[in-house]
Amino acid sequence: MMFKAAVNIEEEAAGVRRVTEEAAGVRSVTEEEEEEAAAGAGRLHELVVRAAARHGTRTAVCYESEADGARLCYTYSQVTCLGNTLKELLYLHCDFSQSYVIGLYCQPTVNLPSCILGILHTGAAFCPINPECSPRLSAHFMQRCKMMYILIQKDMIQQFRDLLSTWLYIDVEYDIPKLYVVLVKIQWQVTNMDSLAPEPRNKENVIYSKIRGLKEGSLETTEEHKKKHAHKYVDCQRRGFVAYILQTSGTTGTPKIVRVPHQCIVPNIQHLKSIFEISSDDVIFMASPLTFDPSIVEMFVALCSGATLLIVPPVVKMMPKRLNKVLFNDHKVSVLQATPTLIKRFGSEILASVVLSANTSLRVLALGGEAFPSLCVLKSWRGEGNKTQIFNLYGITEVSSWATYYRIPEEILCNATRHEECVPLGFPLLGTTLDVMDNSGQVIQEGEGQVFIGGKERICFLDDEITVCPGTMRATGDWVIIKDEHMYYLGRQDNQIKRHGKRVNLESIQQVAESLKQVEACVVTKCDEDKLVLFVVPRVISEQHKGNTTNFRRDILLDLGKHLSPHAIPDDVVQISSLPFTAHGKIDQTTLIQTYREKTKAKISNNVLGKKELWEGIQRLWKVVLNLPEGLPDVSENCMFLYSGGDSLKALRLTEEIETLVGQTVFGLAEVILNSSLLDIYNHIIEAIFFETKNNEELNDKNDRKIKRKRIKDESARSHSKQIKQWRSTASIGNITTVSRGSQITKLNTNVSYENCENRPDVQEGKDLMDAESNGEERKGHNSSNVSENVNANMSINEEKMSVKNNSWESFVNKVVKPQRNDGKVIPEDRVANCTTVSLKIRWKSDTAKCVDASPLLVISENNGSDATLYIGSHSHRIQAIDVLSGKIKWERILGDRIESSACISRCGKFIIVGCYDGSVCVLKGNDGETFWIFCTGNSVKSSPIVDPDLGLVFVGSHDQHIYALDILDKACVWKLHCGGGAVFSTPCLNKSPRLLYVATLGESLVAVNPDTGSVVWKRSCGKPLFSSPQCTSQSVYIGCVDGSLQCFSHNGDQFWQFSTGGPIFSSPCIYSFSATNQKIICGSYDCFVYCLNEDGDLVWKFETSNQVYAVPFVFTNCDLNDRTLVAVISTDGNLWILVATTGELVTSYSLPGEVFSSPVVWKETLIVGCRNNYVYCLEMSTSEQKKMALGESEQFPQ
């Protein structure tokens, strides 16, 4: 039986179709619509240009940022203008005489449509390259496409070089900052990529074509026929003919190259636009990655209709709760095309209450790419009163994109008595023809057979095809049954399955696995409906294999990950002694599945876990699923799965592994894995299997575990036995002043030579104190020698007015949030702040490419302060040195991982020290950023280092639960101390007298350490983890706690007082001396308030912000406000507040365009802070005289 679109169908068949379609609520394509579509089909970019002419001022594309949810939108005019700009640049810098292909190596952003339009305008085809794909396959794909030029996202250039440097190198042709891409030309080092394809071609049932007009039964075209009818063939080599090129996921061995002409995809888009009744009021979500051809439909159905295309980062798609909020709360998405797997991940509760509720914004839901869910499941998703139109879409990449559609009739969805379990594939889309043939190649009208797809112009070019005859039909590998004029999907009766919308060929996985050195034989099978299992006969079954199956399994998965795409990696690897056979000599699949079930059942029945075994089991599975090396230290309890290399597929696998480990289903576990830390995952499982209340308690058995840590390098191995060598003489740099978070001002005289310094204390041989600590002993002796200057010195800096001219300043509208009345200590809104008003505007901002959670370090050299440099790192692995006055980057370095640690400067003034997520402490030369030394700890370094201003040692904490004292000039670790459990997240604090180093841990402890010997003086438990950094006065030490308390201790360890706030405290206290006898402690809380206390713990004032306060306040003096002392406070929603430090009165406020976890730093009239929208901001404070005004009144600032 042949299924075609409404055109050219015999009268009787058309009559049957109309009756069927009317019953299903589906409209047919009229002859007038077909003629109109044919006349205006054109090419993809022409559709957008026509839409832009009608809807130029409407929003064309909207991008939701991963880090802070900030939106960036372009109108149709902006999108087409940027596309035209790119077109001109490509014409100028590309040689199109050899290739009409331009690659795209990027993540989906607001610039993506403009990049595609610019490429299409030149007549070239765009070719998306998957950053997550195997580098070997990517190189093979690029060469097969004869690619010469690629547009690469700026912050992905290094990744591209690292992954593909074996096969090619790149020449940067042109930087295109408006689109945040760089045009590069590639040069091949390898001329033949065929040897790089690890998956052998399956010669049977690959794909064949049926040419209409050939004798029945002839399925292949001879060369003689091609020559005779050459004028009838379509040639793909014409410029402007191919729209895009994709790589399939490997259906028949090596992934195929698919060249898609405009004439093939445009009818698809126009017909779906008509079926979905798209208008300019719609918001369409781009759910598919650019390497998956439904994304083309999503993009161009939106952009040819005047609708809005919504794009989100890939990581947001892995977080169902956040994705639900973005789609349906924030953007009111009305059209969603997705795989059933993506929809299922929302969960039935969210589906019924939001996505498919009665008042949902979703007007159209189109599901495709996988088997459509049963009607029973579909009905369970819908809330009462839901009117969303639901469609079943079916197609293959080889005839891009969709071939059929079927709208589920409303009466069927609402009829509780109907029990149909299968949904038809539906009706052919415009210009599409479908045949169903049995195994003998005969077209059938009833019964089972394989689907073939084609059409007069629905033709794509596969691999090396240059010409294809119109009417070519492509085999899909999908089998259907025809009943009552409808096709119903049965599945794939070969070795191909679909996982998460991608096809997977089981034989190709098996062939790759068999090529591994440790595999003698293997077979891949599908167990329990959705689990892909690889059974392996090892090449040698040794004793170590028998007792170490976990390592064997991990090694196999790690090796497979080098050659296969993520969706093709098996869920499990089972070691067996031999492959079972049937009587006919074939693999006995039934025996294999039974073997797997028995092994799983035995594993579950033997697992009666305690807390210790559970924690160790989760750690082990975490490493196995993420393919981490065996010798890696224990995973930090604060690690996030997605930021450790995980994705949605791996999260599902980890869920299954943990449920197997504990022997029961853990509801909601996948969601917790995707959104929470390792410790949260553990607590969620504890609550599920032990029925205990989750309280984030510290694991009491952690100290009993064997912790394998990275070895400290040889030069730092003598940490407890060496003496500090005499400080070497250094070059004279002059006086410098450093300004860092919490009003920390340090003046260093770097002219001093320490060549013959005799007063520098020696570090005696240290004894490991862990045994003493475990017995509750405390070290009372400590060195209390005087030092010349307190590290926590009060701010004293020349307040001369800064004179800077910058014509590119930017301004945002200030948002002032009124303080609320509460208990009489909140400032009333009718209080007058000052008759002199303060306004803020942006002097400059610097793009770091990822979130900036670190706080600024300012280094001001020379007495007149003419040379001021900012040092700050970001999640992009970058650390930048920026000239404070001009905003120009002096140098930039990319380190080994994310940077949340704030930098410090060495005693000699020559080096910048900063911690890194890869566990390293990096010492960089301050003048050019070159690496001087890298010291490796055993886990991530989020703690910010500090420097002893007299002795020059650097103190820094690590998530490996140690505090380190480093001599950077000797490149040595002087001592290290295990702090008794819990990572050291916060910054240590060095007090001058008594000379003590204070360290706070996530294990609830505040530890006082002798900074010269590394011995513990005293240790106190604060009841909950400590993220706050300790701060000192001459009499006390202050620390904030997650239980919401600000605690004060004496330098002997006695608690003076405890002040409770209404939420956890992550902010560190800022201490400021208003006079010799008047010191105040200012600290933020997650209850959205900033508190000011006196030294006795009494509340002086509190101020309510608009969100939680994570950052450390900064106290400063402004000479233009009569030398009034002010405090800068910033809440996590990006709102900045300038308050009077003595009273808490609001002076002014300002809004940054993103979340802020960085702490502000003020110098003269500039305020500098990092933001999660990837930028570091330098704000300029200016004052103007104005008549008195109530705080509640709105203030207008110049734009």
Using one digit for the tens of pLDDT, what is the confidence trace for 1002-1060? Answer: 888 999 999 989 999 999 988 888 889 999 988 899 999 988 899 999 999 999 999 99
Across 379-390, average pLDDT: 91
Using one digit for the tens of pLDDT, what is the confidence trace for 655-699? Answer: 878 877 887 777 668 768 877 889 989 988 887 776 433 333 344
Predicted confidence (pLDDT) at residue 364 exceeds the cutoff of 90: yes
Predicted confidence (pLDDT) at residue 789 exceeds the cutoff of 80: no
DSSP 976-988: EEE-SSS---S--
> What CA–CA distance (Å, rounded) separates 902 from 1168?
13
Using one digit for the tens of pLDDT, what is the confidence trace for 330-350? Answer: 999 999 999 887 887 787 788
Using one digit for the tens of pLDDT, what is the confidence trace for 1122-1146? Answer: 678 899 999 999 999 999 998 999 9
> What CA–CA distance (Å, rounded) separates 44 from 855?
46
Using one digit for the tens of pLDDT, what is the confidence trace for 416-431? Answer: 665 556 789 999 999 9
Predicted confidence (pLDDT) at residue 942 exceeds the cutoff of 80: yes
- The angle at the Cα of 1013, spanning 1009 to 1015, to the nearest 5 degrees, equals 45
**864 close to 854: Cβ distance less than 8 angstroms:** no
Across 436-458, average pLDDT: 90
Across 649-653, average pLDDT: 73
Please tell me which of 153-157, 683-687, 858-862 the model is most confident about, judged by mean pLDDT.
153-157
Distance of CA 914 to the CA centre of its chain: 23
Please tell me which of 123-132, 235-244, 636-645 the model is most confident about, judged by mean pLDDT.
123-132
Least confident of 32-46, 756-770, 1113-1127: 756-770
At residue 493 the predicted structure's pLDDT band, cuts being 50, 70 and 90, is low
At residue 495 the predicted structure's pLDDT band, cuts being 50, 70 and 90, is low
Bigger pLDDT: 198 or 929? Answer: 929
Predicted confidence (pLDDT) at residue 6 exceeds the cutoff of 60: no
**900 close to 917: Cβ distance less than 8 angstroms:** yes
Using one digit for the tens of pLDDT, what is the confidence trace for 633-643? Answer: 788 888 888 77
Predicted confidence (pLDDT) at residue 1160 exceeds the cutoff of 90: yes
Predicted confidence (pLDDT) at residue 231 exceeds the cutoff of 60: no
At residue 773 the predicted structure's pLDDT band, cuts being 50, 70 and 90, is very low
pLDDT, position 249: 62
Least confident of 23-27, 173-177, 252-256, 493-497: 23-27
Bigger pLDDT: 597 or 682? Answer: 682
pLDDT, position 642: 77
Q: Are strands 531-538 and 519-527 parallel, antiparallel or unpaired?
A: antiparallel
Bigger pLDDT: 9 or 420? Answer: 420
The continuous run of DSSP H or E covering 22 comes out as helix 11-24
Using one digit for the tens of pLDDT, what is the confidence trace for 970-989? Answer: 899 999 999 887 889 999 99
pLDDT, position 809: 28
% pLDDT > 70, the chain:
74
pLDDT, position 1102: 93
Q: How big, in percent rounded to 5, are the helix, strand and coil portions of the chain? A: 25, 30, 45
Nearest Cα neighbor of 211 from 220, 202, 224 is: 220
Angle between helices 589-605 and 648-662 (to 10 degrees): 60
pLDDT, position 420: 58
CA dihedral sign, ordered 488, 490, 495, 498: positive
Predicted confidence (pLDDT) at residue 39 exceeds the cutoff of 50: no
Least confident of 436-440, 818-822, 1107-1111, 1151-1155: 818-822
